Amino acid sequence: MCVMNQNETPKKLWRKIFDLLPQRQKLSFFLILVILAVSAVLSQLTPLAVGYLTDRVLAEPDVTFLAVLPVLLVILLVNVVNEVIKVARRLIVEDTATQAEKNARQRAASSLLMAPLSYFRSHMTGNIHGRLNRSLDGTIKLIKLMFMDFAPAVTTGIAAIVTIFIQLPVPVACLVILVIPVGTFIVLRQIGTQKGIRVELMETKADMDGMMVELLGGIETIRALDGAQAEGDRILARSEQLRRKEMRHHRAMAFYDCLKFINEAVFSVLVIGISVLLASRGRISIGTVLTAYLCFTQLTGPLRELHRILDEFSECVVLANDYFRILELPVDFSYLTEDIPVKVQEENSAVQTKKSPDEMCSEHPAGLSANSSGHSEAEGLTGLTELSRPQTGDIRLCNVNFSYPEKSEQRILKNISFSIPAGTFVGIAGPSGCGKSSLIKVIDRLEQAQGEIFLGEAELSSFSRRALAENIALVPQTPFIIADTVYHNICYGMKREVSLEEVREAARKANIAADIEKLPGSYQFELSEGGANLSGGQRQRIALARIFLKKPKILILDEATSALDNTSEKLIQAQIEKMKEDCGTTVISIAHRLSTLQNCDEIIVIDKGEIVQKGTFQNLRETPGIFRDMALGIVK
């Protein structure tokens, strides 16, 4: 997997964050810098004005309030203007941060949605979700820390140092600002000792997020097995480990906070003592004493917060790096054909006649073949825009082998070869775990296999993800239902506007229309996450309604009617067969309930990743072998 260097330089990191922003927000960065400079200068006017006012009052004992009123008004005006400038800066920073968050969230979502499926098999869903949210928050917080905390502290501190050097003798000023290196050393020591534990705490919390999502996903099973107490105890044990780590961190933070307070107190006394001593000897005025002390507080104030700023800054850098690792996940192999030119389609169309799998294996037609790295031979060609599309519903496989990347040594499919003519109904049967679902994933290019797979006269690798989605419909055993209306769930995946009448017709064919009409709001009824407010059969029928709306060239059913009663299954099966006749749809169906496959033109029987039988339902049931054993209930 391609990942970003853990020790990537801050310059590269900031460049990537900068790239998240639209042009207007990029220009805002420079405006923020100007505002920071103006605000830093204005912040020094108050100490100088207080010093001036003190000296004038002491020099003229009979001075009236009206005489000092202009100076007081200047101090008030300066503070008000400075606060208005700070508000403007904050709004600009917030606008920049929200724009960055919007773009960052969209890019992360796109990266995850196009990542290889192997990534999701090796990471818990809750862990991914928690990691994404934390890394995104850390990236945006990095922007805010820089321009709301760190940069203002630095600019104000620099302005205060300049004022101190102007007001005090240079040797004394140098002694006073020693508070900065001493305080910074304590802060850096604090960060250095606590950096590891903050990352460790972050990862532990991510793991606990994954655990909670896993438990919530199995809430019915946990309740049925009375596992709530046991799971609660397991979470309690993990939480106690987390608490102990956090307390070690808090004890260390308290120790360093004490050191910083002592450092600040020592130098505060030093500043007051030296200033008073110099004033008593006439080296500086009383007003200068006040000015020097006020400037000193402008140094110690940000310094007091520096540990928090740098500590959070350090953590946010780790999170931002993690965010960009999510952004740089490799793109799934099935998206790598998006720029394959139309020339490929023309070359593929040169194969004019259908060939048997044996003939296909003996000669390699012009076109694209997928290799083990996930790249096609056409990659690198540029300048053409149109994509290949299946011309018919023919499907042909030749010597297809497949293993999951995580277990490459374990072959799931072994030398699979067969042809499915367009408009036919083919069933795939076999014991559990024999490779049926893996086979249809390979056909829909969800998983990458070795060998040759043709849709029509073009190789599967020449089709874009969009072209496949427009022509192939896959209905899995567990349907995907979003938290939205029934209408939008049935329309899910359609690239055109769909009328309510079309949706109703599709629902009628899926035998779900009557159920929908009984729901409050009918087709505008809001389904819950995963369709939890529907039965399993209703969820499957909504997923099946999508295929009647789409009318695909190729329909793949993976136990798509397993939750239906026999009556509903027969009605839907009849509609599927009618669509096959009317639209020439090629249908591939996996079913453990073998009666579902009775009307198939052919049934392919798979065992241990190999084709062991082919034939009609009647012939296979009468022939000794896996299929007959399954029909008799001997093999499950």
Instruction: Tell how strand 554-558 and strand 450-455 pair up.
Output: unpaired
CA dist 117 and 611 (Å) reads: 26
CB atoms within 10 A of CB 257: 15
Measure CA 26 to chain center: 24
> Which pLDDT band, with edges at 50, 70 and 90, does 187 fall under?
confident
Strand, helix or coil for residue 612: strand
CA dist 565 and 44 (Å) reads: 80
Among the ranges given (24-28, 265-269, 334-338, 591-595), the one the predictor scored with the smallest mean pLDDT:
334-338
CA dist 198 and 43 (Å) reads: 35
Query: Which residue from 352, 393, 351 is spatially nearest to 368, judged by alpha carbons?
Result: 351
CA dist 452 and 400 (Å) reads: 6
Measured CA to CA in angstroms, residue 117 lies from 112, 160, 331 at distances of 10, 56, 10
Task: Give percent above pLDDT 90 in the chain.
Answer: 30
Query: Which residue from 417, 440, 635 is spatially nearest to 627, judged by alpha carbons?
Result: 635
Strand, helix or coil for residue 430: coil
CA dist 526 and 529 (Å) reads: 10
Structure letter (DSSP) for residue 426: E
CA dist 496 and 473 (Å) reads: 16
Alpha-helical regions (H) of 393-464: 436-443
pLDDT tens for residues 476-505?
888 899 999 999 999 998 988 999 999 999
pLDDT tens for residues 280-333?
888 888 888 888 888 888 888 777 777 678 778 877 888 898 899 999 999 998
CA dist 397 and 381 (Å) reads: 26
455 phi/psi in degrees, rounded to 5 = -110, 115
Higher pLDDT, 387 or 208: 208
* Segments making up each domain of the chain, as ranges: 10-331
Tell me the pLDDT of the chain averaged across its residues: 82
Residue 357 pLDDT > 70: no
Does the domain at 10-331 match CATH 1.20.1560.10? Answer given as yes
Instruction: Tell how strand 586-590 and strand 450-455 pair up.
Output: unpaired
Higher pLDDT, 319 or 545: 545
CA dist 488 and 493 (Å) reads: 9
Asked if residues 509 and 575 have their Cβ atoms less than 8 Å apart, the reply is: yes
CA dist 224 and 101 (Å) reads: 42
Residue 634 pLDDT > 70: no
CA dist 362 and 574 (Å) reads: 39
Q: Which amino acid is at 460?
A: L
Strand, helix or coil for residue 123: coil
Residue 126 pLDDT > 80: no
> Which pLDDT band, with edges at 50, 70 and 90, does 391 fall under?
low
pLDDT for 544 equals 94
CA dist 18 and 382 (Å) reads: 29
Q: Where are the beta strands (DSSP E) in 306-405?
A: 395-402
Higher pLDDT, 216 or 32: 32
Instruction: Tell how strand 413-420 and strand 586-590 pair up.
Output: unpaired
pLDDT for 307 equals 66
Measured CA to CA in angstroms, residue 287 lies from 67, 279, 295, 296, 598 at distances of 17, 9, 12, 14, 101
pTM to 2 decimals?
Answer: 0.74
Asked if residues 130 and 210 have their Cβ atoms less than 8 Å apart, the reply is: yes
Asked if residues 85 and 38 have their Cβ atoms less than 8 Å apart, the reply is: yes
Q: Which amino acid is at 500?
A: L
Burial class (CB in 10 A: 0-12, 13-18, 19+), 517: exposed
Contacts of 404 (CB under 8 A, 6+ apart): 118, 121, 410, 412, 447
pLDDT for 591 equals 85
> Which pLDDT band, with edges at 50, 70 and 90, does 513 fall under?
very high
Task: Find the Cα–Cα–Cα–Cα dihedral 212, 215, 220, 224, rounded to 10°.
Answer: -130
Structure letter (DSSP) for residue 527: P
Among the ranges given (232-236, 347-351, 547-551, 601-605), the one the predictor scored with the smallest mean pLDDT:
347-351
pLDDT for 356 equals 43
SS3 content of the chain, % helix, strand, coil (to 5): 65, 10, 25
